[in-house]
Amino acid sequence: MDHRADPDAVLAGWRREGPAIIAQRRAEYDRLLERARLLLARRRHAQATAALQAAANYAVLWHTGQFTDPRIEAMLRQLGRQALHDDRPCRPPRDEGTPRRILHVATELYGIGGHARMVAHWICNDPDNVHSLALTGQHCPLPQDVADAVQDARGSVTCLNARPGGLLRWARGMQALMARADIVVLHVHNMDVVPMIALAGLVNRPPSMMVNHGDHQFWLGAGIVDMIVNTRRSGRQLGLDRRGVMPERSALIPLCLGDRPRQMSRQAARQALGIPSEAVVVLTIARAVKFRDIGGDNFVQALLPVLHDNPQMHMVVVGPGQMPAWADSIAQVPGQVHLIGETTQTQPYLDAADIYLDAFPFVSITSLLEAGMQGLPLVTRAAYGPDCGVMAADSPGLDGVMATTHSVAELRRTIAALVRDDAARRSLGARTLARVVENNTGAGWRRQLADLYRSTEGLPRNPGDLAPMQGMGDLDLFIPFVFDDPVGIGGSDTIRVSRATQLVLKAAPPGWRIRHLIRIAARRDLAGSPLRALIPAWLGTTLRRSLRREP
């Protein structure tokens, strides 16, 4: 974007356009939820499960002005009780001092991003217990660090979506795994209905907790899971204000990190990456989607004056790859901006860096903390105002050391000062490293985890009660422009509903799948081949695993 749209004008535009967007999306979501209610009333449980999954998909992908919905929580509980009522006895009480059997549940874990790394770090940093992993939608190869962590923890990995059947049958299989656990820890995608239905139907279920890793989005589980585990104060507060989470069911624990030893010296890393040895390197690492264009100055354009005034400054941005919208800005400072695509091999860039700048408009907490572990000073931008804490960066491990800026002008001043002052960079980086190590690693983190286990075990099972929730604010009006899936901006007026439904087709009952596939194709909203959409999810997963020679 060009300079014609200043940040205040962008936010004002969102406030004008946001209410109509939210109202339209709420109406579309409500229609999806009503379809699920009717199916549930007729006790067509497998179809109701698919319909609830479609509604949850919609609410996560396109913000509807709510961060949870008591109606869908109640339907999930009803579905679990009716279709998966299971009163088998769970594991007998654990003897004090014996290892806990922890079942981690995830939808899908990827090699890129911090989600899978958190699961691996949690398991590796809790060696006194036995950890297993269940997956409800794994399609790509399981990241090796996760597989190794589970093996070392004497546990097992179960890929439920490789079993014949669909969502409801997978939830039944999940119950058998949960019944053998002392604690269940959910790391699932925000819309995943499978573990929620499984827990709801399990009468004698073990204590359960859910990691709030998508705290800026709608999610399921506030009325089902016993403890919500937050890694940010802003996420915890939003849960209390807008999700109806009871304070006693809301914990705060720092994100767990593993060691990231330096692979080479700063000078050797720069030589390997083709960066001048005398440069001051400002590094950013994030998935490509976190750099999306929202109006105003783009990521590079915001720092053009600093790059002009400081020719020794080099920006290294890992994740976006080639960004045509940034080309004009980059051309004004030839050789000073380096763009790299998404990669799991980020250590050489960390080794070369002097300063770490958070992604914008979508912050990246894991990358911030991992940069802090390298002794880099950290800078982030909180541009959306006091009502939008979850749109900015915060973490218990970064209290008092991260430089938070609230405008482009303040961002420029902060970066320029660090670029020019080597002693200030080193001092702030050392304090950051000490703070992150103390909070996010080792014995300090394990003590907090032990407290979390005990707190969760001491709670009665969640009866489904939700506290009163506050109404909408700026956060709701801004989310569609920053976080939401861009699908639906063009095309038919049914595209969002069609895409939310298409995402569940492969795991839905055959009749429901074919009926909705025909409807979506008739609207010309289908993404991909209709023949591929007819292949059941379990069969596609099994074939991929076979081709990859996975056990």
DSSP sequence for 267-312:
HHHHHHHT--TT-EEEEEE--GGGG---SSS-TTGGGHHHHHH-TT
Answer whether residue 2 is part of any domain: no
Average pLDDT over residues 95-99: 89
Sole residue written with tokens 């001051």: 280
Average pLDDT over residues 33-41: 98
Do both 209 and 311 map to the same domain? no
Q: How many residues does the chain have?
A: 551
Average pLDDT over residues 43-58: 98
Answer whether residue 464 is part of any domain: no
The CATH number of whichever domain residue 422 belongs to comes to 3.40.50.2000
pLDDT higher than 70, residue 81: yes
Answer whether residue 220 is part of any domain: yes
Residue 188 and residue 201: Cα distance in Å, rounded?
Answer: 18
Residue numbers of the domain that contains 373: 266-440
Do both 148 and 252 map to the same domain? yes
Residues forming a β-bridge with 405: 381
- What is the model's pLDDT at position 92? 84
- What is the model's pLDDT at position 533? 87
pLDDT higher than 50, residue 3: no
Answer whether residue 447 is part of any domain: no
The Cβ of residue 42 has, within 10 Å, a number of other Cβ atoms equal to 10
Q: Taking Cα atoms as reference points, which of 440, 432, 323 lies closest to residue 380?
A: 432
Do both 157 and 35 map to the same domain? no
Residues forming a β-bridge with 211: 229
Q: How confident is the model at residue 489 (pLDDT cuts 50, 70, 90)?
A: low
Sole residue written with tokens 């962008």: 10
How many structural domains comprise the chain? 3
pLDDT higher than 50, residue 364: yes
pLDDT higher than 70, residue 179: yes
Average pLDDT over residues 214-235: 96
Residues forming a β-bridge with 228: 210, 250
Do both 117 and 131 map to the same domain? yes
Average pLDDT over residues 365-375: 95
Half-sphere exposure of 303 (CA within 13 A, CB side): 31
Average pLDDT over residues 11-26: 95
- What is the model's pLDDT at position 490? 63
Do both 363 and 510 map to the same domain? no
Q: How confident is the model at residue 4 (pLDDT cuts 50, 70, 90)?
A: very low
Do both 287 and 431 map to the same domain? yes
Do both 402 and 419 map to the same domain? yes
Answer whether residue 328 is part of any domain: yes
Do both 145 and 57 map to the same domain? no
Average pLDDT over residues 477-503: 87
Answer whether residue 463 is part of any domain: no
